[in-house]
Amino acid sequence: MSVRIRLRRMGAKKRPFYRVVVADQRAARNGRFIDTLGYYDPCAETPQLHLDEAKVAHWLRCGAQPSDTTKVLLKKSGLLETASDPLQPR
């Protein structure tokens, strides 16, 4: 079973709101999920991202792979280190 950290779309039509969840890769986008890690609101005046850092660290240690979009969000929040940049402190 491949586990991924990805976004689950919520909210009204043309007003997206996303929950950051851990789910099986084969599950539907808004289908079954394992755990909720936080939320992302791109429609706010300034886009809001709230994550439970302990849960994110736990799932990354357990081998969960972030999707492309969540990888960008995790890098912006500082929870995911960039392995490609050798000058960045670890």
CATH number, domain 3-77, options 2.60.40.1080, 3.30.1320.10, 3.40.50.10470, 3.30.2270.10: 3.30.1320.10
Q: Which two tokens stand for residue 11?
A: 């909210």
Contact status, residue 4 vs residue 13, Cβ threshold 8 Å: no
Alpha helices in 1-90 (DSSP H): 53-61, 68-77
* pLDDT for the residue 16: 92
Q: For 10-66, what is each residue's pLDDT tens digit?
A: 989 999 999 999 998 888 888 888 999 999 999 989 999 999 999 999 999 988 899
Nearest Cα neighbor of 48 from 83, 76, 87 is 76
Domain coordinates in residue numbering, the chain:
3-77
Rounded Cα distance, 42 and 32, in Å = 23
Straight-line distance from the first to the last Cα atom of the chain, in angstroms, rounded to the nearest whole number:
30
